[in-house]
Structures are given as structure tokens and as C-alpha cells.
């Protein structure tokens, strides 16, 4: 199964999210009162050429972020994250570069519902779209907007298939959900970065490719078990530990949504090792 990395713009967050800082007060101080931004990072989504049909994991950012009212005017959101994208970098143009169009996609799996992962949704009304039920329920609750989910920007037709994990263990993950009939595309719950965050496992003959979303920013932070979180939480700690164990138990390509190295790991089939 061929997998393609498709970059839709760049993003940056505060430095502590990359280096880790367990002290909550220090994190809040840095978030609100400092301008210590990390480097600009890519925003990837992934195309999987599966025999059941083309499957897209996340839909990337949209240039609508520059339209007035699309993002909040002020507040904490702009203290936490900045995104950049040109219209020519959106998902339809990235698909076109490898000879595909949105209409060719059959299935979309969303790792979570933050804007830089669902900005391209408008192009995929014809697809079966999977989201974790926990993520969807939280994002559509009263708490959603205050936690970085902007339902007002979602397409009005958006009624995803809500994943309840019910298949067997997947390695040391106690729950999973098979997406394809051959069981080669599987999702596992990886909460922490967001409440219902999930990662996609693509099982090949020689290795499993992990489309980890925002679980960690890269392989190095996985090794150090630094989760990609604004504020530390128990779920994130458990998730990052579980994933760190998983990648040591079998040959894996570990691909984070915001890791500049991800396309090289993919192209060179660079199996995770320490
Ligand atoms: Zn996110």
C-alpha cells in the first residue's frame, strides 16, 4: 500500500510544547505572557492507496483562516497556535500534484477535529468520514469552542461516522477499530493532545506505518515521551508511553503530522529505533 505525505501549509506553537514542561504554572505563564514560539512546522495529511479505495487521513489547513471571523479575533487561541497557508497549498492542489482529485477519495479518517486537520473537509462531502465519538461529542458540546473547536466553520453536511472502538487489542493498545475489511487500516484511541485523538495504523508486509497525528511532534519527542499537549494530562502520559512501547515491539514507521522528517521516514522506510 503506497502512502503519500501531503503538506498543507505550516504551523507553530509555543516552544514548551516541543521541549516539554511538566509544571502547569510555567506552561500557562509561557503561553500567555511570552512570545517564545517554536519553529514553523509542516502540516501533513496522508493519502493511503488501499485496494478498497483511496483513504485520506486528515484534510489539512485551509486559506479561509485569513477570512475575517473564521478564527477568533483575540484570546488564548492566538497565544497557542499560528498557522500559515496559501490557497495553492490546500488539499485539492496537493492531491493534483500526485494525479488525484478530491472526487477520487473514498474514505477520510480524522485523527482529531482541530482546524489544521479538518480545514479541507469541504471537498469531501461524498466520502465516508470517521471521527472518534469522544472527540465529536466534546467538540460539539458547550465546551468545544473554548477548547479550540470551531463548529461554525464545519460544512453543514458534516455527519461523520462516529468510531466506538470495539475490535480486539492492537499490541499494547487495549482497543481498536478496523476500518478496512482486510484489517490493514486500523485506528487506535490515542487521547491526550485532544480528548478523542486517534492514530491510524497501516499494516504492511514488513512494517506498520503509524499516522500519529499530534500525539508527539516527532520521533525524538516520542522517545523522550513528551506529548504534544498544551497542558499535561494523565491520558497523554499513558498514550505516549503506550505508543513508545508499541514502536519498540514491532517494525514501525512513525509519522507525526508536524514532523519535517516524516516524508523522509516514509520514502526511506526508516523504521523507528533507539
Ligand atoms: Zn491538534
Question: In the beta sheet, which residues pair with residue 163?
Answer: 132
Question: How many angstroms separate the Cα of 136 from the Cα of each of 110, 150, 178, 187, 232?
Answer: 10, 12, 19, 16, 21
Report how far apart, in Å, the C-alpha atoms of 41 and of each of 64, 129, 205 are: 19, 26, 31
User: From the CA of 47, how far away is ligand 1's center (Å)?
Assistant: 19
Q: Is 273 within a domain?
A: no
Q: For residue 255, how far is its CA from the centre of ligand 1 (angstroms)?
A: 15
CA of 214 to the centre of ligand 1 (A): 6
Indicate yes or no: pTM above 0.85.
yes
Residue 274 lies in a domain: no
Find the mean pLDDT for residues 94-99.
98
How far, in Å, is the centroid of ligand 1 from the Cα of 112? 7
Residue from 194, 56, 167 nearest 113 by CA: 194
- How many domains does the chain divide into? 1
Q: Could you tell me the distance, in angstroms and rounded to a whole number, from the CA of residue 48 to the centre of ligand 1?
A: 21
Asked, for residue 150, whether it belongs to a domain, the answer is: yes
Domain that holds residue 175: 2-266
220-273 confidence digits (pLDDT tens): 999 999 888 877 789 999 999 999 999 999 999 999 999 999 999 999 999 999
172-221 per-position pLDDT tens digit? 899 999 999 999 999 999 999 999 999 999 999 999 999 999 999 999 99
Does residue 68 belong to any structural domain of this protein? yes
User: How far, in Å, is the centroid of ligand 1 from the Cα of 193?
Assistant: 6
Expressed in angstroms and rounded, the spacing between residue 189 Cα and the centre of ligand 1 is 14
Q: 272 in a domain, yes or no?
A: no
Q: Please tell me the distance between residue 149's alpha carbon and the centre of ligand 1 in angstroms.
A: 10
pLDDT at position 16, please?
77
pLDDT in tens, 121-136: 999 999 999 999 999 9
Q: How far is the CA of 224 from the centre of ligand 1 (A)?
A: 20
Q: What is the pLDDT of residue 142?
A: 93
Band (pLDDT 50/70/90 cuts) for residue 22 is low
Say how many Å lie between the CA of residue 32 and the centre of ligand 1. Answer: 19
Q: How far apart are CA 209 and CA 152, in angstroms?
A: 33
CATH of the domain at 218: 3.60.15.10
CA distance 121 to 130: 12
Distance 106 CA to ligand 1 centre (A): 24
* φ/ψ (deg, to 5) at 131: -140, 150
State the distance from the centre of ligand 1 to the C-alpha of 213, rounded, in angstroms: 8
Does residue 271 fall inside a structural domain? no
Amino acid at each position: 500500500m503506497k502512502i503519500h505525505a501531503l503538506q498543507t501549509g505550516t504551523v507553530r506553537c509555543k516552544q514548551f510544547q516541543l521541549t516539554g514542561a511538566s509544571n502547569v504554572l510555567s506552561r500557562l505563564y509561557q503561553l500567555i505572557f511570552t512570545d517564545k514560539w517554536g519553529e514553523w512546522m509542516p502540516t501533513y495529511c496522508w493519502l493511503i492507496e488501499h485496494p478498497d479505495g483511496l483513504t485520506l487521513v486528515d484534510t489539512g489547513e485551509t486559506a479561509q483562516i485569513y477570512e475575517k471571523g473564521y478564527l477568533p479575533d483575540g484570546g488564548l487561541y492566538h497565544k497557542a497556535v499560528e498557522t500559515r497557508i496559501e490557497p495553492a497549498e490546500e488539499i485539492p492542489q496537493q492531491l493534483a500534484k500526485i494525479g488525484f482529485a478530491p472526487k477520487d477519495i473514498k474514505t477520510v479518517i480524522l485523527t482529531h477535529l482541530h482546524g489544521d486537520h479538518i480545514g479541507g473537509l469541504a471537498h469531501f462531502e461524498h466520502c465516508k468520514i470517521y471521527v472518534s465519538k469522544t472527540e465529536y461529542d466534546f467538540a460539539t458540546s458547550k465546551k468545544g469552542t473554548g477548547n479550540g473547536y470551531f463548529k461554525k466553520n464545519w460544512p453543514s453536511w458534516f455527519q461523520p461516522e462516529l468510531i466506538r472502538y470495539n475490535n480486539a487489542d492492537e499490541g499494547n493498545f487495549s482497543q481498536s477499530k478496523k476500518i478496512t475489511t482486510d484489517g490493514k487500516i486500523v485506528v487506535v484511541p490515542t487521547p491526550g493532545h485532544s480528548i478523542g485523538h486517534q492514530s491510524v495504523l497501516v499494516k504492511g508486509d514488513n512494517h506498520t506505518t503509524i499516522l500519529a497525528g499530534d500525539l508527539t511532534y516527532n520521533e525524538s519527542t516520542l522517545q523522550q515521551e513528551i506529548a504534544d499537549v498544551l497542558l499535561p494530562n494523565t491520558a497523554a502520559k499513558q498514550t505516549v508511553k503506550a505508543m513508545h512501547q508499541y514502536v519498540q515491539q514491532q517494525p514501525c514507521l512513525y509519522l507525526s503530522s508536524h514532523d519535517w522528517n516524516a516524508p523522509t521516514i516514509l520514502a526511506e522506510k526508516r523504521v523507528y529505533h533507539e
